[in-house]
Structure 1
Amino acid sequence: MSEERSGAATPRIRPVRQPKASPETLKRLKSHLGVLSTVALKHLDQSLPWYRGLRPEERAALGLVAQKGIASFVSWYERPTSPQWVLTDVFGAAPTELTRSISLQKALQLIRTIVEVVESQVPDLAPESEQVQLREAVLRYSREVAFAAADVYARAAESRGAWDSRLEALVVDAVLRGESPDALRSRVAAVGWKSQTGIHVMVGTAPEVATAGFVGDLRRAGLRHAQDCLVGIQGDRLILMLGGVEGAEAGFARLSEYFGAGPVVYGPQASSLKEAADSAHAAFAGIAAARAWPLAPRPVSSEDLWPERVMNGDAAARAALVRHIYTPLLRAGNGLVETLSSYLALGHSLEGTARELFVHANTVRYRLKRVCDVAGWDPLIPREAFVLQTALVVGRLDGADSL
């Protein structure tokens, strides 16, 4: 059944044809190009305070855009073309200067000001019979230029965002490689990094689809828990560098939701950019050994993975166990190492340890509490007792008991 018979005819959209300009009007427009450009630039200077505040080279670039816009309007009025033509003719060489000098809002103010100038000159440019037609053409052309300007800014923002992401990834890579502080300082300044303390590095698996939008979302989430945030993706690894962290553990738990499947490890706090490389190396070492602790929390501290890292051949974890646990216990004296060793060897039995050492059970309890105070790990908690036992092993193997 035809549309006419069914009574549900779909209206057809016919293209609007612009009436052809008369040769006299076109001739007058072309002869007034210089006047229109001069009046437009003068009006910009008078009506837009921010335009007067630009540097001379910036004003020259924007003035060129204005002159091109007026000249292109005359050509377009003679032979209307597609909006893409406006992009190449008006903004062909201008996007970089335009987007660096002014915001999109100011660019639209500039376009509106030029349109007002051209409209004010319509009585001098066309006979009365063509003035309405010319004004409508000016409005249509200004609309296309406005859309073209928005497209220019969108492309520039997309390009700038891609460049910022690449620069951000280079900074993260420089931190991982432990570049010199001077070189690193200049790199982080380029991405707006300000924090000098409270730096942490988180490492985990990147999600299957890690788009630019995902990176932006993760960066914004990171900035809710830290003063600075950098994101880097290296193959299937997602690296998050945070500075000026507040409420670390709670923030890490929320940020770990952005990582892919598998463990997420965060390194110890670094007090400077130079030490950030150590935090990153600890986090990567933790990722490599995390599969040995299937019940590890997510995220998990690289320090909680010291035993697994030692068994995986990590010399830094071995040294950390000796430095932070075994040596302090040895220097504290009062039989702490002997009591801890017996307690662990006898199956965590307080009474058995007391009989072995010929002391009261309360003495064993006191010494174990002292172990927790000195080393920071509680032997009454099975996982922490495993960390302490590993520290005893590597300390003895390294001959640290001779200190």
Structure 2
Amino acid sequence: MANAPAGDIPQDKAETLAWLRKISGDLATVTTKRLEERLPWYAEMPPARRSSVGLVAQAGITSFIQWYEDPTSTPWIAADIFAAAPRELLRSVSLQQTLQLIRVTVEVTEERVAGRGGHVHEAILEYSRDVAFTAADVYARAAEARGLWDARLEALVVDSILTGETDDELPSRIAALGWHGHGEVSVLVGTTPPMFDIDQVRRTARKLGVDVLVGVQGARLVLVIGRAQDPAADAEPAEGQPFLDIALVLEPCFGAGHLVLGPTVPALVDASLSARAALAGFAVASGWRHAPRPVEADDLLPERALAGDPLARTTLVERIYRPLLAHSADLVATLWSYLDNGRSLEATARELFVHPNTVRYRLKRVSEIIGWDATGPREALILQTALILGSIGAAEGVRRRPTRRNGQILSTSHKQ
């Protein structure tokens, strides 16, 4: 009987329709009361949102009466229920809660129409099924749209970090992505695999206890990695595993080729510094024949400096040349001689007129001060590049020193 054409309504159905329209207001009132009793999340909602949920329930009852009169209107009537809800309601009420709302509404309606015949009960069950499917479709579409928006926003954030063009809106954009990192950050740059699985990257990151922002730029894959910490926690955050170990675990997510890890920075807003180093290292990684995978960007300082990276040149001078020069000129002279003599202790000792043990001691002090060991071939290259750049900078400083006479600057000397 529920499937009879709308233009030919049986007498008993017409009576049922009239009765349903008469009690629709009472149904909405009882449903709202039942929601408060049965669903704790509904009772805890702000008044405005409770009112919105109540409108959805009332729209469902009204739409059922219309559907009962004309079952062919199922598609548009069921969808119209959720059109009554404001957009923010879909973000605050989950699909599970929506199904609970439908269940309570159906229960109240079944109780009131229990004596009106089996055809009304069957109609309620059929209609509630259609509404449940419609609800799933509404939430699926919202999730898909939100996923596309998040992907675009994430790409925008990563691009801002890579270019260093950050603004005051960057923190809010990062928060909108659900970023949980509140500690150190590092940027990992490699190639994009032919079949890139972004979900695998996020699953691996969760297991490692880190958060990631993913940026795919053609053949280049960029991961911004941050230690995931709870900002509300009172305890001091525990120091996590080194970023190089994290990069080793994430390495299978990248395609073939070099994989470069930028230096660690204190927070996400400083990630552009790590990104610059990682990108510069990725561009010149082929200059190191036996570069490990992953390799730290600071291990590629000589190649980056030769390629004209000003950050690499500054890093080499500030972290190697100037600390050694400030500590002792003898250490700089010993390191120069040792590297110029092919890392030979005896030849260095003869040139400096000291004992080989003195050379050993000074090289040990060099390693203690700057953290690089001159006896290794790769680190020797890094140290020699730093000495060259530091000496060039010192010479340029002398050439540009202003000439003074009677306390006045007359000109700038450029003697060769």
Instruction: Using structure 1 for the length normalisation, give the TM-score.
Output: 0.84
Of 126, 129, 150, the residue aligned with 1:164 is 150
3-state SS of 2:208 partner: coil
Instruction: Give the Cα–Cα distance (whole angstroms) in 1 for the partners of residues 359 and 329 of structure 2.
Output: 11
Count of residues paired in the alignment: 379
Q: Which runs of 5+ in 1 are unaligned?
A: 1-16
The more displaced of 111-120 and 237-246 is 237-246
Structure 1 400/81 Cα, relative in aligned 2: closer, same or farther at 3 Å?
A: farther
Instruction: Give the Cα–Cα distance (whole angstroms) in 2 for the partners of residues 218 and 324 of structure 1.
Output: 34
- For residues 219-368 of structure 1, what are the structure 2 equivalents within 5 Å? 219-244=202-227, 246-247=240-241, 248-333=243-328, 335-368=330-363
Of 378, 384, 400, the residue aligned with 1:383 is 378
Instruction: Give the Cα–Cα distance (whole angstroms) in 2 for the partners of residues 382 and 54 of structure 1.
Output: 66
CA contact (8 A) 1:330 1:401 kept: no
CA contact (8 A) 1:86 1:144 kept: no
Instruction: Give the Cα–Cα distance (whole angstroms) in 1 for the partners of residues 74 and 15 of structure 2.
Output: 26
CA contact (8 A) 1:171 1:187 kept: yes
The more displaced of 334-343 and 142-151 is 334-343
Match of 2:44 in 1: 53
CA contact (8 A) 2:185 2:225 kept: yes
Instruction: Using structure 2 for the length normalisation, give the TM-score.
Output: 0.82
Kindly state the Cα deviation for residue 182 of structure 1 after the two structures are TM-superposed: 4.2
Of 130, 137, 144, the residue aligned with 1:151 is 137
CA contact (8 A) 1:268 1:279 kept: yes
Kindly state the Cα deviation for residue 164 of structure 1 after the two structures are TM-superposed: 2.2
Q: Which amino acid aligns with 2:53?
A: L
Kindly state the Cα deviation for residue 291 of structure 1 after the two structures are TM-superposed: 1.7
Q: Which amino acid aligns with 1:52?
A: A
Q: Taking every aligned residue pair, what percent have the same amino acid on both sides?
A: 52
Kindly state the Cα deviation for residue 402 of structure 1 after the two structures are TM-superposed: 7.6
Instruction: Give the Cα–Cα distance (whole angstroms) in 2 for the partners of residues 319 and 176 of structure 1.
Output: 20
Structure 1 41/195 Cα, relative in aligned 2: closer, same or farther at 3 Å?
A: closer
Report Cα offsets for 1:18-38 as digits up to 9, x if no partner: 664633333333343333333
3-state SS of 2:222 partner: strand
Structure 1 274/85 Cα, relative in aligned 2: closer, same or farther at 3 Å?
A: closer
Instruction: Give the Cα–Cα distance (whole angstroms) in 2 for the partners of residues 101 and 185 of structure 1.
Output: 23
Structure 1 351/84 Cα, relative in aligned 2: closer, same or farther at 3 Å?
A: farther
Instruction: Give the Cα–Cα distance (whole angstroms) in 2 for the partners of residues 97 and 372 of structure 1.
Output: 59
Kindly state the Cα deviation for residue 322 of structure 1 after the two structures are TM-superposed: 0.9
CA contact (8 A) 1:344 1:385 kept: yes
3-state SS of 1:290 partner: helix
Task: Report the RMSD for the aligned CA atoms in angstroms.
Answer: 2.7
Kindly state the Cα deviation for residue 161 of structure 1 after the two structures are TM-superposed: 2.3
